[in-house]
Amino acid sequence: MLNKRHRMVFSLCTLILLSLSSQQLLACSRPTAPELPDAATAVTPQMIKAKNDVKAYVGEAKAFLDCTKSTKKHNRMVDEMNSVASEFNSIVRAYKARLAG
């Protein structure tokens, strides 16, 4: 009886560890930069979607930065985040300028 209980506890512990490992692997996956709309043709819903996509991307990128141990990967992610932010801000400015006429 004791042996069966030990196997059950061991199986449960193994399952928990595997679950945590897979969550950690997902958290440490490099996110993909969002597609951004063309400021010359974008409509408001596309701009709102882009804003939400960029926000989600930044959150995922921060999680990646927290878990990566590689300085090279960290620096590349920061560079990409800056690039996406810069591009998005340029698109927003152009979109607002177009609407202002």
Does residue 91 sit within a domain? yes
Does residue 22 sit within a domain? no
Task: Give the pLDDT confidence of 12-40 residue by residue, as tens digits.
Answer: 556 565 554 444 445 589 999 999 999 99
Q: Which domain holds residue 84?
A: 31-100
Cβ-Cβ contacts under 8 Å for 87 (sequence gap 6 or more): 36
Using only the alpha carbons of the chain, give its radius of gyration: 22
Does residue 21 sit within a domain? no
Check if the beta carbon of residue 64 is closer than 8 Å to that of residue 77: yes
pLDDT value at 52 more than 90: yes
Check if the beta carbon of residue 61 is closer than 8 Å to that of residue 81: yes
Does residue 19 sit within a domain? no
Domain count, the chain: 1
Does residue 68 sit within a domain? yes
Least confident of 27-31, 55-59, 73-77, 82-86: 27-31
Does residue 79 sit within a domain? yes
Does residue 89 sit within a domain? yes
Give the pLDDT mean for 71-82. 97
Does residue 24 sit within a domain? no
